[in-house]
Amino acid sequence: MSIRRLPEHLVNRIAAGEVVERPASALKELVENAIDAGAGRITVVLVDGGTARIEVVDDGCGMTPADMALALERHATSKLPDELIESVVTLGFRGEALPSIASVARLTIESRVRGQEGWSRIVDNGRVEREAPAALPPGTRVIVEDLFARVPARRKFLRSPRAEYAACLDVVRRLAMARPDIGFTIEHDGRRALSAMQVEDRPGRVATLTDRALADNSVAIDIERPVESGMLVLGGVASLPTYNRGIADHQYLFVNGRPVKDRLLMGAIRGAYAEMLPRDRHAVVALFLDVPTDQVDVNVHPAKTEVRFRDPAMVRGLIVSGLRRALDAAGHRSQRASDSALAMWQQETASPPGGEAGPRPQSRWDGEGTPQRLPLEDRSYASVSDARPTFFAAPPQARAEPAWTPPPQTSAFPMGVARGQVAKTYIVAEAEDGLVLVDQHAAHERLVLERMRAALVGGTIASQALLIPEVVELDEAGCDRLESRAAELSEFGLDLERFGPRAMLVRATPALLGQSDPKGLVTDLADELAAFDEALSLKERLDAVAGTMACHGSVRAGRILSVTEMNALLREMEITPHSGQCNHGRPTWVKLAHGDIEKLFGRK
Ligand SMILES: Nc1ncnc2c1ncn2[C@@H]1O[C@H](COP(=O)(O)OP(=O)(O)OP(=O)(O)O)[C@@H](O)[C@H]1O
Ligand SMILES: [Mg+2]
C-alpha cells in the first residue's frame, strides 16, 4: 500500500474528531474565540441543544475579509505572535477550531472590524459556499448549523437535545465564571436561559451562576505561595462540607482563567475534604489558580481542559492546605436550618394526620380559608400516628432542666446552654440568638476525630491495654492487610497481632475511644484498608482511619446524657475545628434562629 498525503478537508475532519465531540465542544471553541477577541458582551443562541444551530455573537475586535479566509485554514492563528507556546495567554493558540468545525457542519462567519466594511463567509462541510459583504455592528457572529449532519457515525453518538443543552450551558457557565468582566446571555429554543451582567468581582459572578445558597454555605479562599518565577495564587470559594453534592459537576476549576477539569486538581479537592465527606459526596467549589506561565503546560489535551504542572506536588499542597486552612477558620459553622426544613416543620404542624392515636390538635381557621399554623407543642400529637422514625412513637422521653435553674449566660456560648435531650439522640440548647439542636452521636464522633488528629500531629495516640486481649475472627485477606499495617496501626493506638490464618488478637485500643468495641473496630478497619492504595501510608489516610475509629468510640444515639455531659459536649464543639459536620459530611447541629421560630408561629 502506498503512502499518500491526505487532502486538507480530510485532515480537518480528522482533527475535528478530537476537537469537536458534541455541540458543547463547538460552542466552547466559539465562545473562547469571542473572549480572545476582547468582547465585552457575548450572546449565545441555541436550537435543539445546539444540534440544529449554535450562534455566538460578540462585540470584539472582528476580522478583516483576508483574516477571515485565513482563520478557516488549519494552523492559522493570530494568537502566537512569537514561537513561545509556553507563554500563551489566550484561550486559543492552535488555529484548529474553526477549520475543524467547518469540516463537520455548515459554518457561517460574519465579521466587521470597527471602521471597516463587514464581510461574511459560508463554509459547508469543508467547502466554501459563498462569500459576500455583510452588514453588522463591529464584532463577529458565527453560526454553526446541522453539526455532524454528514458524519453519521458522530451524529449517532449525540445525546438528547436536553442533554446536549445541559452540556452547552455548563461550558458557557464555566467560561462566564472565569470572566466576570464580560456580559453573557444564552437563549435556548427561544427562551432566555442564562443572563450574567458585566460585574467587577468574581464572587458576584460565582453567586449568579451557581446556587445562591452557596454564598451562605461557603468560605472564601485567598492564598498565595512564591515560586522562582512569581507567585502561585489560589482564590475563590469552597463550600462548607455540609453543603455537598452527589456528583462532582459542581466543582468549577480554573487555571490562569482557563476552565479545566483536571484530575490533579479534583484529587486535591477530594484530599482537602477527605475526612469531612464520604466518598460519594462532593464539595461545591469555584477555585481560580493563577500561576506563572512557565509553571504550567496548557498544550496537553485536545480540548485544552487538562493542564500539566511543572511541580504538581506543590500545586496539590497549595490547594489542600489552602482549603483546609479556610475551612478550619470557619470553625464550628454548620448549615442554617434550610427553608425546606423549615417548611417541613410548618407542614407537619399545619396538617395533622388523621387516625385515632391520640388527641387531635385543633385546627383554628383564620376566616380566610387557610388553617393557621398550630403551636409547636402540638407536633408530638401529629407525629404519633404518622410514619415518622419510631423514636417518636415511643413513650415521652424528653428531659428538661428544671425551670428554676437561674437564667444561663447564653451570650457567652455560641452553641448555647443545654436545656434537655430529645429521643435520647438530640441535645436541645438555648443560644442567645435561637434554638440549637445537636445530633449527639454525629457531634461526638467529630470531636473524637479531631482529638485524634491533634494527637497524631504531636506523635502517636496513647493506647489502653485490654484486660483480656480479644480475638477477632476475619477473612484471611483482611487479616493480611491488618498484619501488614500493624506497625502503623500501633501509632494510632491500636495494638494487634496475627492469631492464626483467620484471626487477629487485639491487645490495646486507642485510649481516646474509651470503652470501644474492638471487634467492630477491627472489622471496619480491615474493610477500610481494602480500599486504600497500598503505596500510601496510613498517616496519609489519617482522616479515614481516624474517622473509622472515631465512629466506634462515640456516644451512641440512644444514650441518656447528663446536663453536665451535654454542656461539656457543646463547649468542646465551640472550640473544635470542623465540628459543624460529622465525618460523613452531614451537619452535627442546626439552629432555628429566633426569626425562624417567629416565622413558624406566624408572628412574622
Ligand atoms: N470571534 C472572533 N473574533 C475575532 N477573531 C476571531 C474570532 N474567532 C476566530 N478569530 C480569528 O480566527 C483565528 C482562528 O480561530 P481558531 O479558533 O480556529 O483558532 P485559535 O483560536 O487561534 O486557536 P484554537 O484552535 O486553539 O482555538 C483566531 O486566531 C482569530 O484570529
Ligand atoms: Mg479558537
Integer angstrom CA distances of residue 226 from 220, 229, 290, 292: 20, 8, 12, 10
Q: Is 112 in the pocket of ligand 1 (CB under 6 A)?
A: no
The values of phi and psi at residue 512, to 5°, are -60, -25
State pLDDT tens for residues 293-313: 888 888 778 778 888 998 888
Task: Report the pLDDT value the prediction gives residue 228, as an integer from 0 to 100.
Answer: 86
Distance 132 CA to ligand 1 centre (A): 20
Region of residue 42 (phi > 0: left; psi between -120 and 50: alpha; otherwise: beta): beta
Distance 244 CA to ligand 1 centre (A): 38
- The pLDDT of 567-574, averaged and rounded, is 87
- Of the pLDDT bands very low, low, confident and very high (cuts 50, 70, 90), residue 365 is very low
What is the residue-averaged pLDDT of the chain?
81
pLDDT at 348 over 70: no
- Of the pLDDT bands very low, low, confident and very high (cuts 50, 70, 90), residue 561 is confident
Q: Is 183 in the pocket of ligand 1 (CB under 6 A)?
A: no
Q: Highest-confidence range of 139-153, 407-421, 576-590, by mean pLDDT?
A: 139-153
The grid coordinates listed for 8 are 486538507
The strand pairing partners of 139, in sequence order, are 112
pLDDT at 387 over 90: no
Task: Report the pLDDT value the prediction gives residue 346, as an integer from 0 to 100.
Answer: 43
Higher pLDDT, 175 or 365: 175
Classify 220 as helix, strand or coil. Answer: strand
Distance 77 CA to ligand 2 centre (A): 8
Question: Got the DSSP string for 110-152?
Answer: EEE-TTS-EEEEEEETTEEEEEEEE---SEEEEEEESTTTT-H
- Of the pLDDT bands very low, low, confident and very high (cuts 50, 70, 90), residue 57 is very high
State pLDDT tens for residues 188-208: 999 898 899 988 788 889 988
Q: Is 97 in the pocket of ligand 1 (CB under 6 A)?
A: yes
Ligand 1 atom with the smallest distance to the CA of 56 is 1
Q: Is 37 in the pocket of ligand 1 (CB under 6 A)?
A: yes
Q: Is 109 in the pocket of ligand 1 (CB under 6 A)?
A: no
Q: Is 77 in the pocket of ligand 1 (CB under 6 A)?
A: yes
Distance 75 CA to ligand 1 centre (A): 10
The strand pairing partners of 254, in sequence order, are 259, 288
Percent residues over pLDDT 70 in the chain: 84
Distance 71 CA to ligand 1 centre (A): 6
Distance 161 CA to ligand 1 centre (A): 27
Integer angstrom CA distances of residue 291 from 237, 242, 296, 343: 18, 30, 7, 46
Residue 365 to residue 313: CA distance in whole angstroms? 65
The grid coordinates listed for 418 are 443545654
- Of the pLDDT bands very low, low, confident and very high (cuts 50, 70, 90), residue 81 is confident
Determine contact, residues 265/287, Cβ cutoff 8 Å: yes
Ligand nearest to the CA of 56: 1
- The pLDDT of 338-347, averaged and rounded, is 50
Ligand 1 atom with the smallest distance to the CA of 60 is 3
Half-sphere exposure at residue 209, Cβ-oriented, CA atoms within 13 angstroms = 33
Cβ neighbors of 468 (< 8 A, separation 6 or more) are: none
Q: Is 108 in the pocket of ligand 1 (CB under 6 A)?
A: no
Higher pLDDT, 445 or 536: 445
Task: Report the pLDDT value the prediction gives residue 389, as an integer from 0 to 100.
Answer: 35
The pTM for the full model equals 0.64
Which of 31, 36, 119 best tests ligand 1's pocket when mutated (most atoms within 8 Å of CB)?
Answer: 36
Ligand nearest to the CA of 20: 1
End-to-end CA distance of the chain: 84
Residue 567 to residue 436: CA distance in whole angstroms? 12
